[in-house]
Amino acid sequence: MAKRGSTEDEKKSSQLSALLRLVRLVRPYRGRFYFASVFLLLGSVVSLAYPQVARYAIDLGMREGDTDAFNNVLTYLFAIFACHAVFVWFRHYLMSWLGIRAVADLRSLVFDRIMLLPIAWFHDRRSGELVGRLAADVAVIEEVIGSQLSMAVRNVVQLIGGVALLLVVDWKLTMVMLAIIPPFSVAAVFFGGKLRKRSKVVQDKLAEASGRVQEAIAAIDTVQAFGRERDEASAYRLDVEAAFQSGLRLVKWRASFMSSVSVLTYAALAVILALGGRSVIAGELTAGELTAFLIYTGMVASSFGTVASLYGSLSRAAGATERLYDVVDEVPEIRDPEDPQDLPEGQGAVHFESIDFHYASRPDDAVLRGVDIKLEVGQVVALVGPSGAGKTTIASLLPRFYDVQGGQVTLEGVDVRRLRLGDLRGAIAVVAQEPVLFSGTIRDNIAYSDQSLSQAQVERAAVDANAHVFIQSFPEGYGTKVGERGVKLSGGQKQRIAIARAIVADPRVLILDEATSNLDSESEAAVQQALAKLMKGRTTLVIAHRLSTVRDADRICVVEGGATTAQGTHQELMNSSATYRRLVEHQLLEPA
């Protein structure tokens, strides 16, 4: 029992600190916040004045038949309406401004941090679900900061002010009225817990559904090729249906909560009408006072109901904030060292020294064991071996997509973990097997590493990459838009643009993952030529799939089961390595 109490407390305190972090988001704009609060208070005070106006209208105007007084009261009423309208406008505008502003900041903050997280972090998560959840969490927070927080404050003011004024009118009747508060609180706590639990279930179901959408859309060609459109759609329908069902359960609880609040409110009004009516008949209370009392009671009860239900929203927002800040607070395991070393001058000397490595997600599965590969300046070193041997993994250790567990990777003789990430990655360019182009123009894609490049520089790179001619043949030239993944371009064209992008980055070391897909021979020749230009004067690590590439390489490393089993030139390996011979003879290396 004690244990449960303490975890409950911990939960409460972490919720509180999450909400405090939300408040901190608003801090830079506190001037506006104070301003908004003033309007909020003024608005609440004015709305508390309504019942008083009603009271005077009834007591002075109607009962005593004083027409002048009655007209005066109506004038006041009109003035109050007008003031209230102005206050509400400013309150709403300023508070919403804060909400939208803070959430815009939060969105950027979260994305800034996500971009810095190591590749392995993304492997653990389904990207669609991640994106969907972030969007949903941010939306919850937006609603809370933008409207519910101010609603909560407004209702608390109205609650306290209302009770105070009730006490002034008739303290005994007030005590009767306050008797409804305990059942109210019980209902609020009971329903609050249910609502929170239910709404979390709804969020989870929606996140699952949006994960599926993202995945299906990203792989639409595979979906259609296998004729799975209807199956994906019906799986999505099931997800959505599940979300609908849990949404309904949430709504049922909410409806029960609202109807309990309404029953309690009207019961209180009835009791007060009964008791207060007797007081009026006995002459202890005027009709106007009773009217004001009834209106205040309605206000107090509805404020209480609102505050209670907002408690649920606040803790939902706390949950959303915690999840977002889990991402924001994540300290990237791969980051700049405390006291970084400058990258020495050099031309790309790389050494993988006795590397042991396993992926964090599979700690028992050693992917690399004692790999030792040295790339002298300007050399081309080819990695060959069966698929799954660890070639891609080796290549991804140099830009520190992952850190090794044993041994070290050095660039210009310095352990890559001692260098600033910016320096390290600035010295390396990667040309992937299936290059990804970003949506935007061809120019943007070539100048990806440095958008400030001049058109002439971009064109020079494109000429070297054998891409200039085909780019010029498009009506819009370098301004041609490429789709989300460059769908309008052929494989060979995309590759050449990716090569131009690498030329622009002017790296010391090049990591090349050779395309396995068959290009037509003309494209193939153009790509090979472009690559040859790109590789000139740089150190190159190539994951090779072609015989021509390995023949030209200065050295070939045969990778098998996470270890380098042989190194040498083509001729040497043909004589010394059975695996290599097998790769060549069974055409696992494409003869082209």
By CB under 6 A, the residues from 243 to 282 that bind ligand ADP are none
- CB nearer to ligand ADP: pick between 105 and 215: 215
- The number of beta carbons lying within 10 Å of the beta carbon of residue 156 is 16
**φ, ψ of residue 406 in degrees (nearest 5):** -140, 150
Q: How many CB atoms lie within 10 A of CB 242?
A: 17
Kindly state the tokens that stand for 199: 């709404």
The stretch near ligand ADP (CB under 6 A) out of 23-31, 172-180, 243-251, 381-389 is 381-389
Going by C-alpha positions, the residue among 480, 551, 492 that lies closest to residue 526 is 492
Nearer to ligand ADP, 244 or 359 (CB): 359
H or E element that contains 513: strand 509-513
Rule CB under 6 A: choose which of 198, 391, 417, 538 binds ligand ADP. Answer: 391
Binding segment for ligand ADP (CB under 6 A), chosen from 371-379, 391-399, 431-439, 493-501, is 391-399
Q: Which residues of 3-24 are buried (b: 16+ CB within 10 A; e: fewer)?
A: eeeeeeeeeeeebeebbebbee
Using the rule CB under 6 A, which residue among 51, 276, 390, 507 binds ligand ADP? 390
Long-range contacts, 19-26 (Cβ 8 Å, 24+): 19/314, 19/317, 19/318, 19/321, 21/321, 21/325, 22/102, 22/141, 22/144, 22/145, 22/317, 22/321, 25/102, 25/105, 25/106, 25/145, 26/98, 26/102, 26/145
**Rounded Cα–Cα distance for residues 362 and 359 (Å):** 5
Helix (H/G/I), strand (E/B), else coil: 79: helix
The count of other CB atoms within 10 Å of the CB of residue 326 is 9
Identify which range of 13-21, 42-50, 183-191, 359-367 contacts ligand ADP by CB under 6 A. 359-367
Give residue 417's region: left, alpha or beta (phi > 0; psi -120 to 50): alpha
From 338-346, 361-369, 404-412, 442-450, give the range in contact with ligand ADP by CB under 6 A.
361-369
Q: How far is the CB of 369 from ligand ADP (least distance, A)?
A: 12
By beta-carbon proximity to ligand ADP, the closer residue of 326 and 364 is 364
Please, what is the minimum distance in Å from the beta carbon of residue 568 to ligand ADP? 19
CB of 391 to ligand ADP, least distance (A): 4
CB-nearer residue toward ligand ADP: 138 or 394: 394
Closest approach of ligand ADP to the CB of residue 538, in Å:
22
Indicate which single residue of 153, 367, 414, 509 sits in contact with ligand ADP (rule: CB under 6 A). Answer: 367
Q: Tell me 590's DSSP state.
A: B
Which of 389, 509, 515, 530 binds ligand ADP (CB under 6 A)? It is 389
| Closer CB to ligand ADP, 376 or 403, in the complex | 403
| Interface segment toward ligand ADP; rule CB under 6 A; list 302-310, 385-393, 426-434, 448-456 | 385-393
Are the C-beta atoms of 83 and 76 separated by less than 8 Å? no
Residue among 48 and 366 whose Cβ is closer to ligand ADP: 366
- C-beta of 121: minimal distance to ligand ADP in Å? 11
Q: How far is the CB of 567 from ligand ADP (least distance, A)?
A: 16
Angle, helices 127-143/67-116, rounded to nearest 10 degrees: 150
Task: State yes or no: residue 496 binds ligand ADP (CB under 6 A).
Answer: no
Considering the complex, what minimum distance in angstroms separates the CB of residue 333 from ligand ADP? 14
* 556 binds ligand ADP, rule: CB under 6 A: no
Give the separation between CA 464 and CA 498, rounded to whole angstroms: 12
* Total chain residues near ligand ADP (CB under 6 A): 13
Rg (CA), the chain: 35
Which CB sits closer to ligand ADP, 205 or 391? 391
Minimum CB separation of residue 337 from ligand ADP in Å reads: 24
Least distance in Å: CB of 392 to ligand ADP?
3
Degrees, nearest 5: CA angle 176-178-181: 135
For the CB of residue 396, give the shortest distance to ligand ADP in the complex, in Å: 8
155, 158, 199, 393: which one binds ligand ADP (CB under 6 A): 393
Residues 108-167 that bind ligand ADP (CB under 6 A): 123
For residues 339, 340, 341, 344, the Cα torsion angle rounded to the nearest 10 degrees is -170
Q: Distance (Å, rounded) from C-alpha 316 to C-alpha 197?
A: 9
CA dihedral 479, 485, 486, 491 (to 10 degrees): 150
Of the two residues 295 and 389, which places its CB atom closer to ligand ADP in the complex? 389
Query: Using CB under 6 A, which of 388, 422, 483, 537 touches ligand ADP?
Result: 388
Residue 361 engages ligand ADP in binding (rule: CB under 6 A): yes
Residue choice 72, 286, 354, 392 for contact with ligand ADP (CB under 6 A): 392
Q: Which stretch binds ligand ADP (CB under 6 A): 101-109, 151-159, 191-199, 356-364?
A: 356-364
Does residue 565 bind ligand ADP (CB under 6 A)?
A: no
Among 359, 487, 518, 582, binds ligand ADP (CB under 6 A): 359
User: From CA 9, how far away is CA 136, in angstroms rounded?
Assistant: 27
Taking contact as CB under 6 A, which single stretch among the options 11-19, 186-194, 202-210, 388-396 is the one that binds ligand ADP? 388-396
Contact (CB, 8 A) for 566 and 577: yes
In whole angstroms, what is the distance from residue 470 CA to residue 195 CA?
Answer: 60
Is 434 a binder of ligand ADP (CB under 6 A)? no
Cα distance between residue 260 and residue 561, in whole Å: 67
397: left (phi over 0), alpha (psi -120 to 50) or beta: alpha
Spatial separation of the C-alpha atoms in residues 392 and 288, rounded to whole Å: 83
Which residue carries 């390996």 as its tokens? 573
Are the C-beta atoms of residues 494 and 435 closer than 8 Å to each other?
Answer: yes
Of 132 and 385, nearer to ligand ADP (C-beta) is 385
**Which CB sits closer to ligand ADP, 302 or 392?**
392
- Interface with ligand ADP includes 362 (CB under 6 A)? yes
**Near ligand ADP by CB under 6 A: residue from 387, 451, 473, 571:** 387
Interface with ligand ADP (CB under 6 A): 123, 359, 361-362, 367, 385, 387-393
